[in-house]
């Protein structure tokens, strides 16, 4: 779960990280609490807001009111603006990038820092990779003083105590909330000391059971601010917590992994078809998830044919077949299905499907050609 900036900064404040004074604006009436000059920041769950016009500096009351009205009518990368974080304008001497994240390759936390703060770290990595400093953290001994000293020296930070306090709190947040990323960009050097001008926090969805109240409150808050009208399929996917992205084609797609799904999307387009969606169940899906995924995809009335592509690594093909059979028996099979199945227990799964008249393909390209032909014939 990616937190909105004001949600992330609320957690920062609990951990004592220095922040600009701010107020959350959800309607023009909240402007009475605004202190000028201020920075108005659209609260949407995407990066690059500044380049997209979602961050504005205002000096006067009339300018602030007009900018707030304009932002509330705008969309930032497909997200309508329903909340604005207004912060006091801060005098900035220098900007630094600082993040704690979980390195999946090394299977341990790490610190990433750069003296080139205030811009996309991906851009720095492409153009000036030597400006990025990375230091792994041994989870058994935690963040050590020598790591803090090394990073402060590498970033040219004189306020070692202030920098160390912020870095230790970021590490504490990474652990306490099961976060995969805790980022400040920029961490600003100001006349009053170091200050986090932005905040990005991503929580591990798989840890939701460890923090049920936190996840529930954060999701509720985000849902109340996200008034985008969902299609029936998107609404059903949201209710069932299934990964689903609506597209504009007529071929439904279900995959048991993101990589397989992305490959299949490309193959469908190469074969002249138009995908209606991207839907992936994850590597540990069971029969119920399979059945629910079909219900989600076929809730889109534009779908003319459905392709289910399965590679049984962690997913068992006999369970996937049980889910498909359950759907077929319970629903009108007016939309033809094409199934590509291989991997764990595939022979059992194929036999189960044959009993209800559902054939399977071994070759993915052949399955794609078949589903494209079926969609064109309808």
Backbone dihedral angles phi then psi of residue 370, each to the nearest 5 degrees: -65, -45
Same-domain pairing of 30 and 165: no
Same-domain pairing of 244 and 321: yes
Decide if 222 is inside a domain: no
Looking at residues 198-205, what average pLDDT do you find? Answer: 94
- Which pLDDT score is estimated for 104? 83
259 vs 29, more confident: 259
48 vs 89, more confident: 89
**Can you give the CATH number for the domain in which 57 is found?**
3.30.1490.20
Q: Is the pLDDT of residue 378 over 80?
A: no
pLDDT tens, position by position, 7-50: 999 999 999 999 999 999 998 888 877 888 999 999 998 888 88
Looking at residues 59-80, what average pLDDT do you find? Answer: 90
Same-domain pairing of 68 and 117: no
Q: Is the pLDDT of residue 240 over 90?
A: no
3-state helix, strand, coil in the chain (%, to 5): 40, 25, 35
- Which pLDDT score is estimated for 184? 97
Cα atoms found within 13 Å of the Cα of residue 375, Cβ hemisphere only? 27
Bridge partners of 270, per DSSP, are none
The fraction of the chain above a pLDDT of 90, given in percent, is 72
Decide if 16 is inside a domain: no
pLDDT tens, position by position, 267-326: 999 999 999 999 998 767 899 999 999 999 999 999 999 999 998 777 899 999 999 999
- Which pLDDT score is estimated for 109? 95
Decide if 271 is inside a domain: yes
Decide if 5 is inside a domain: no
- Which pLDDT score is estimated for 231? 82
Domain that holds residue 319: 232-377
Decide if 328 is inside a domain: yes
Catalytic residue among 5, 87, 95, 183: 183
**CA 360 – CA 220 distance, rounded (Å):** 41
Q: Could you tell me whether strands 243-246 and 305-312 are parallel, antiparallel, or unpaired per DSSP bridges?
A: unpaired
Total domains in the chain come to 3
Whether 146 is catalytic: no
The fraction of the chain above a pLDDT of 70, given in percent, is 99
Mean pLDDT of the chain: 92
Whether 221 is catalytic: no
Q: In which residue are the tokens 């032909």 written?
A: 373
- Which pLDDT score is estimated for 91? 95
Q: Is the pLDDT of residue 228 over 70?
A: no
Characterise 168 by phi-psi region: left (phi > 0), alpha (psi -120 to 50), beta (else): alpha
Closest to 22 measured CA to CA, from 38, 45, 4: 38
Catalytic residue among 5, 87, 95, 97: 97
* Banded pLDDT at 129 (limits 50, 70, 90): confident
- Which pLDDT score is estimated for 37? 93
3 state DSSP class of 312: strand
Q: Is the pLDDT of residue 157 over 90?
A: yes
- What would the two tokens of residue 297 be? 């995809």
Same-domain pairing of 83 and 98: no
- Which pLDDT score is estimated for 51? 84
pLDDT tens, position by position, 318-343: 999 999 999 999 987 789 999 999 99
- Which pLDDT score is estimated for 229? 64
Same-domain pairing of 373 and 278: yes
* Banded pLDDT at 373 (limits 50, 70, 90): very high
Same-domain pairing of 260 and 133: no
**Can you give the CATH number for the domain in which 192 is found?**
3.30.470.20
Same-domain pairing of 84 and 108: no
């Amino acid at each position: 779960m990616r937190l909105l900036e004001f949600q992330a900064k609320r957690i920062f404040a609990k951990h004592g990280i220095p922040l600009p004074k701010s107020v959350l604006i959800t309607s023009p009436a909240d402007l009475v609490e605004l202190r000028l000059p201020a920075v108005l920041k659209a609260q949407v769950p995407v990066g690059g807001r500044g380049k997209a016009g979602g961050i504005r500096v205002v000096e006067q009351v009339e300018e602030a009111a007009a900018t707030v009205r304009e932002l509330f009518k705008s969309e930032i990368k497909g997200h309508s603006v329903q909340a604005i974080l207004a912060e006091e304008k801060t005098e900035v001497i220098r900007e630094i990038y600082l993040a704690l994240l979980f390195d999946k390759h090394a299977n341990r936390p790490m610190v990433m820092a750069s003296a080139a703060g205030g811009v996309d770290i991906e851009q720095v990595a492409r153009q000036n990779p030597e400006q990025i400093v990375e230091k792994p953290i041994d989870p058994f001994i935690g963040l050590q003083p020598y790591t803090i000293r090394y990073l402060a020296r590498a970033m040219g930070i004189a306020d070692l105590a202030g920098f160390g306090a912020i870095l230790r709190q970021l590490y504490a947040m990474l652990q306490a909330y099961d976060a995969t990323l805790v980022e400040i960009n920029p961490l600003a050097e100001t006349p009053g000391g170091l200050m986090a001008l932005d905040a990005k926090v991503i929580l591990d969805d798989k840890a939701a059971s460890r923090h049920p109240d936190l996840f529930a409150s954060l999701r509720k808050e985000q849902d109340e601010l996200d008034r985008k009208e969902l299609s029936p399929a998107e609404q059903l996917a949201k209710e069932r917590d299934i990964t689903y992205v609506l597209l504009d084609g007529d071929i439904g797609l279900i995959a048991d992994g993101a990589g397989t799904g992305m490959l299949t999307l490309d193959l469908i387009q190469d074969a002249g078809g138009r995908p209606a969606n991207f839907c992936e169940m994850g590597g540990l899906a069971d029969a119920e998830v399979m059945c629910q995924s079909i219900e989600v995809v076929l809730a889109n009335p534009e779908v003319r044919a459905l392709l289910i592509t399965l590679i049984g690594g962690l997913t068992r093909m006999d369970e996937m077949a049980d889910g498909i059979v359950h759907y077929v028996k319970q629903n009108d099979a007016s939309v033809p299905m094409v199934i590509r199945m291989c991997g764990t227990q595939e022979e059992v799964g194929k036999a189960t499907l044959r009993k209800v008249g559902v054939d399977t393909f071994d070759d993915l390209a052949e399955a794609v050609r078949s589903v494209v032909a079926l969609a064109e014939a309808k």
